[in-house]
Each structure stands twice: as C-alpha cells, then as structure tokens.
Amino acid sequence: MTVYLNGSFVEKRAARISPDDRGFLFADGVYEVIRWYDGRLFEAEAHLDRLRDGLSKMRIACDAAGELPRIGEELLRRNGAPPDRMKLYVQITRGAARRTHAFPAPGTPPTVYAEVAPIDTSPEELEHGVDAITTADQRWARCDIKSTSLLANVLANQAALEAGACEAIMLKEGVVTEASHSSVFAVTDGEVRTAPLSNLILAGITRKVVLELCDELRLAVREFPLTESELRSADEVFLAGTSCEVMPVVRLDGRPIADGRPGAVTRRLGQAFTKRIGTG
Ligand SMILES: Cc1ncc(COP(=O)(O)O)c(C=O)c1O
C-alpha cells in the first residue's frame, strides 16, 4: 500500500516517522477523514476548513490542506483503489523535536501523513440500525478540535464493543454531547434535536449536512442540549458521521428505542442523504 508522508509517496512499510514526533509523544496533532462518493470527495471544502481551523487553534503552522484533494487522488490512483467506499485519512502533527512540552523551535516542519482506506460501515447496519450504549464523557474541554488525542473516545468505543454495541453516546452533566466518533440526533414528536455547537463537541460535517437536509425537508429542528431522559424517551435516535452516514440507533443500553426499529424521520433523512451524496 502506498501512503503519503512529508511530500513523498512511499510504501507504507517503508514509511518512517521519528520517535521524537510530537504526534507519538504527546498526540500533538490533528486529523481529518473525508469520504469519496463516485470519485468525488464529499464536502471537501468543509472538511479542509475544519482542518485549517484545528491547525490554527493548535497553533500548528501548516498550509498543506489545499493540496490534500490532489494527494488523495494520487493515493487512489497509486493503490488502484475504487473511487467509492473509500476514505482519505490525514494526520498533521507539530513535527519532530527533542521531547519537551513547549513548542519546538519556529520553522520545525510539521509531519503530514495521508492514506486511503476502505469504509467498513455495512449497508445492513444502515438498513436495520445499530445498538449504542451511554457512557460518561471524560474528554477535555476542546472537543471542537479534531485532535488525535482520542483516548477517552477509544475507551468509550471499546466499552460499546464489549457490550455488543457499536457506538458509545457520551453524557456530560446529564446532557448528551456526542458519540465516540459520530454526532448524535434524537427525534421527539417530529422535532429533530442535536447538541448546539460549542467547545464540547466536534462540528461534524455530516451533522451540518443533516441540518441542511432537515431544512430542505421542512422538518422542525432544534440545536439545543438533549438531556439523558429525553434521549431515553426519544421516538428515534440516530448517529451522523463520515463513516456511518445517517445511522439509526435501535437499542440503547440494551433497551429498544420506541419499537426497536429505525424511525420514519431517520429513514427520510437517510434517503435524503443518499440523494445528496450523488450531488457532491
Ligand atoms: C467525536 C466526533 N464527533 C462527530 C464526528 C462526526 O464528524 P464528521 O461528520 O465530520 O465525520 C466524529 C468523526 O470522526 C467524531 O470523531
């Protein structure tokens, strides 16, 4: 497999990153995941803007974002990968320097890495929905940054898998923030609800698209904190993310949501999303 590292396309097994890299030492980096549909990177500009925003908030000087679509195309080509059901993973760290907490000397080049990988969400899950668990949100106070520092997300997702579920919905002080790697929506009495943007959640690109689709479908929608009890008594719950698209959640902590089947609003949004991906 060919990957991209610091300006070169190399075999993955030959790619070398320094043990002094701040991504390795401190998780001092950001990442982005963008998906291809029919050979087009979906919402590329929104993803690249979020990456630029994260770099700026982390004060990492790197202007590689604009080149990533071209790098992604080249990775697809070199790997002979189909231009669908594939994603571009990008990670940019503060570079390599002797270990000390403070930033390295100005001019230390960032590390820029990219690879392509297949999407593993199955059509069956999208059709029938998945199980989720709830868990405490133990993350830091800058979840708006798509940082590679994901330990709390990793532990939450592992707890979900060990409980036979596929995603962990996180609760902070009694309200839903988001899930370990997706945004969370609930539907009650026809109204679609999701957490408002803040430092406590990532500004999901799929979340943004779903809100646009709600507008197009004239669905009532509110970006307002959702309490744990509102989540548990919701008519429908779904996840939104680059990999999981619009994914119905049919059981929460082992108990069915409503009748335990994907709800009508979720289905409508899922269909609208499928139409949308055809148009970029
Ligand atoms: C914590 C978190 N929230 C939400 C999302 C969904 O974001 P997007 O729709 O941009 O993929 C992700 C995606 O990785 C995530 O890690």
Give me ligand 1 centre to Cα 180, in Å.
Answer: 8
Task: Kindly give the distance from the C-alpha atom of residue 195 to the centroid of ligand 1, in angstroms, as a whole number.
Answer: 13
pLDDT at 17 over 60: yes
pLDDT at 279: 56
Of all protein residues, whose CA lies closest to atom 14 belonging to ligand 1?
181
Tally the C-alpha atoms within 13 A of residue 198's C-alpha that lie toward its C-beta: 12
pLDDT band (50, 70, 90) for residue 10? very high
How many Å lie between the centroid of ligand 1 and the Cα of residue 184? Answer: 10
Share of the chain above pLDDT 70, in %: 99
Q: What is the pLDDT of residue 242?
A: 97
Query: 208 an active-site residue?
Result: no
pLDDT band with cut points at 50, 70 and 90 for residue 83: confident
Atom of ligand 1 nearest to the CA of 241: 9
pLDDT at 120: 86
Pocket test for ligand 1, best of 149, 181, 243 (most atoms within 8 A of CB): 181
Which residue in 146, 172, 208, 275 is the catalytic one? Answer: 146
Distance CA(168)–CA(187), nearest Å, equals 18
Question: Considering Cα of 267, then 271, then 277, then 280, what sign does the dihedral take?
Answer: negative
DSSP 110: P
How many angstroms is it from 258 CA to the middle of ligand 1?
A: 25
pLDDT of res. 121: 87
Which residues touch 51 (CB under 8 Å, ≥6 apart)? Answer: 30, 32, 65, 68, 90, 92, 146
- Do the domains at 2-118 and 123-277 have one common CATH topology? no
Protein residue with least CA distance to atom 2, ligand 1: 181
Over residues 65-82, the mean pLDDT reads 96
Average pLDDT, the chain: 97
With both helix axes pointing from N to C terminus, report the angle between 205-216 and 44-58 in degrees, rounded to the nearest 10: 140
Using CA atoms, how far apart are residues 14 and 71, in angstroms rounded to an integer?
18
Which DSSP string corresponds to 129-193? -EEEEEEE----S-TTS-BS--HHHHHHHHHHHHTT-SEEEEEETTEEEEESSSEEEEEETTEEE
Q: Which atom of ligand 1 is nearest to the CA of 178?
A: 3
* Residue with the two structure tokens 């929104």: 46
Residue bearing the CA closest to ligand 1, atom 13? 181
Over residues 141-149, the mean pLDDT reads 98
CB environment 86-125: b (16+ within 10 A), e (fewer) = bbbbbbbbbbbbeeeeeebeeeeebbbbbbbeebebeeee
The fold for domain 2-118 equals D-amino Acid Aminotransferase; Chain A, domain 1 (3.30.470)
User: What's residue 280's pLDDT?
Assistant: 46
Single out the residue of 269, 227, 267 nearest to residue 250, CA to CA: 267
Cβ < 6 A, ligand 1 pocket: 33, 153, 178, 181-183, 202, 204-207, 240-242
Report CA(36)–ligand 1 centroid distance (Å). Answer: 16
The mean per-residue pLDDT over the stretch 65-85 comes to 94
pLDDT one-digit tens code per residue, 18-63: 999 999 999 999 999 999 999 999 999 999 999 999 999 999 999 9
Average pLDDT value for residue range 146-169: 98
**Distance (Å, whole) CA 75 – CA 65:** 15
The percentage of residues in the chain with a pLDDT greater than 90, rounded to a whole number, is 96
Domain boundary assignment for the chain = 2-118, 123-277
Mean pLDDT across 146-153: 98
Residue 118 has a pLDDT of 94
- Segment 107-137, tens digit of pLDDT: 999 999 999 999 988 999 999 999 999 999 9
CATH superfamily of the domain spanning 123-277: D-amino Acid Aminotransferase, subunit A, domain 2 (3.20.10.10)
